[in-house]
Amino acid sequence: MRQPPSPTPARSGFARPSHAPVAYPAYAATARVAEVQVHASEAGPVQRRLANPQPSGAPLVFLVRRQAGAWVQVDLPVRPNGSTGWVRAADVTVTGVAYRVDVLQARHLLRVYRFGRLVSSYPIGVGKAETPTPGGVYYLKELLRPPNPDGAYGPYAYGLSGFSNTLTSFNGGDGVIGLHGTDEPQLVGQDVSHGCIRLRNEDITRLAKELPLGTPVRILA
């Protein structure tokens, strides 16, 4: 879980929200305004404000919990993990997401589902005992292209909405959990990282062309 220097958001052709009808009930909310006000409840007080785009340049995206009239309850890409809030429906565009990702840590395996059906599996590396990958349900919040595709993060790096429970900062970053490539493919299949999920470069390249922002990610034991 190292912070890549000066990454750029992946652009045309990568990680766009899907507008297709979905069998798997996942929905993403993409901000339409420069600042999204997050409320503690429907029409309740504002608890925080989030900028769009994100500091990385990626659009601000949420995973939708439910919609109630003019309000949408969403998962938030903030600490603590599992934070939720309400945003105005007028401030976001809600679209269907056909995919979900399951991370099976004990098996060092990542599974991709589309419309609820398993479509692919990949070997992964996960966090070491002292810096474990945190379990829970998160989502893909951004997709970056590290400046060196042969470096520690490979050609692509997704940022998840979750954060390390043991590191509050790392290499200039805020401890966000990533899903990225690696320059040490021989270590994939082991507990090797500071909490991120590592894939072989050819695998993360394929996923970067397939998985839209807002895709839910379940990290399991």
Does the active-site annotation cover 180?
A: yes
Does the active-site annotation cover 39?
A: no
The whole-number pLDDT of residue 7 equals: 52
DSSP string computed for 37-84: EEESSTT--EEEEEESS-TTSPPPEEEEEEEETTEEEEE-SSSSTT-E
Pick the closest to residue 217 from 143, 162, 150 (CA basis). 162
Q: What single letter denotes the amino acid at residue 46?
A: V
Pick the closest to residue 196 from 83, 77, 60, 105 (CA basis). 105
pLDDT means over runs of 10, the chain (221 residues) = 47 41 73 98 96 96 94 96 96 94 97 94 97 96 96 97 87 85 98 97 98 96 94
The whole-number pLDDT of residue 9 equals: 61
Go through the domains of the chain in sequence order and give each one's CATH number.
Answer: 8-12+98-220 (2.40.440.10), 27-96 (2.30.30.40)
Cα–Cα distance list, 61 to 164, 180, 194 (Å): 20, 19, 25
The whole-number pLDDT of residue 145 equals: 96
Q: Which of 19, 39, 108, 180 is catalytic?
A: 180
CA contacts within 13 A on the Cβ side of 18? 21
The whole-number pLDDT of residue 188 equals: 98
Q: What pTM value is reported for the model?
A: 0.90
Q: What single letter denotes the amino acid at residue 193?
A: S
